[in-house]
């Protein structure tokens, strides 16, 4: 069972390696955007499946607060009624998590934002949007080099030129930015 959306890729890979053919997903989320937590976790698009007599492995990419996984686990136990429910993640951020997964690859002792290949463009787009919103109080026009430099200063990472360009195209497509005369201009 994959937690949508971060658990899709790890769950699909586990299916291959464990020889599992059945894969369901449930969208339980606590993050409204990259590194920005919502007030409370929620399940979107609730549906009921009869899993009585079956075992369920809930797969997500990471346990940070754990609230979305707790919500998903409880919903699955109460509504889908499987015989057993276990949780597997790639990372477990132990100091802040309210839940320890049954299986995890890495215990993280200091909170850090993980970028996975399947979230990198979305995260980069949201990080740039947040950065430009904060900096936009004083500066409305940016060159690509200025954005890249400020991004590295803000977040301490370099995501690569193509991700910056793709993220900026996405921000133009939602009318957050416009591009004119070699500069990205914040729309008010």
Condensed to tens digits (0 to 9), the pLDDT of residues 8-27 reads: 999 999 999 999 999 999 99
Q: Supply 24's token pair.
A: 């369901």
The class (CATH top level) of 120-186 is: mainly alpha
CA-based nearest residue to 129, from 175, 78, 87, 81: 175
**Confidence label for 35 from pLDDT (cuts 50, 70 and 90):** very low
Average pLDDT, the chain: 92
pLDDT for 30 equals 65
The pLDDT value recorded for residue 39 is 59
Greater pLDDT, 138 or 38: 138
Among the four given CATH numbers 3.30.750.24, 3.40.50.720, 1.10.150.20, 3.40.50.2020, the one describing domain 2-108: 3.40.50.2020
Averaged pLDDT, 46-68: 94
Q: Could you tell me the strand order of the sheet in which 55-63 lies?
A: 36-44, 25-33, 2-4, 55-63, 84-93, 103-108
In the numeric block, the tokens 């936009």 are attached to 136
Pick the closest to residue 24 from 43, 51, 42, 44 (CA basis).
Answer: 51
| pTM given for the model | 0.80
3 versus 28: the higher-pLDDT residue is: 3
Domain ranges, ordered by start, for the chain: 2-108, 120-186
Structure tokens at 76: 């699955």
């Amino acid at each position: 069972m994959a937690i949508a959306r971060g658990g899709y890729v790890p769950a699909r890979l586990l299916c291959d390696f464990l020889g599992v053919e059945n894969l369901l997903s449930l969208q339980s989320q606590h993050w409204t955007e990259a590194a920005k937590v919502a007030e409370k976790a929620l399940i979107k698009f609730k549906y009921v499946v009869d899993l009585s007599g079956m075992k369920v492995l809930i797969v997500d990419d990471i346990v940070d607060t754990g609230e979305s996984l707790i919500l998903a686990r409880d919903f699955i136990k109460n509504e889908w009624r499987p015989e057993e429910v276990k949780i597997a993640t790639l990372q477990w951020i132990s100091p802040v998590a309210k839940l320890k997964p049954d299986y995890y690859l890495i215990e993280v002792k200091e909170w850090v934002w993980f970028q996975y290949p399947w979230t990198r463009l979305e995260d980069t787009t949201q990080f740039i949007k947040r950065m430009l919103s904060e900096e936009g109080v004083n500066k409305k026009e940016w060159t690509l080099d200025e954005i890249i430099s400020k991004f590295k200063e803000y977040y301490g990472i370099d995501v690569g030129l193509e991700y910056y360009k793709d993220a900026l195209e996405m921000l133009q497509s939602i009318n957050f930015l416009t591009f004119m005369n070699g500069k990205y201009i914040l729309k008010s």
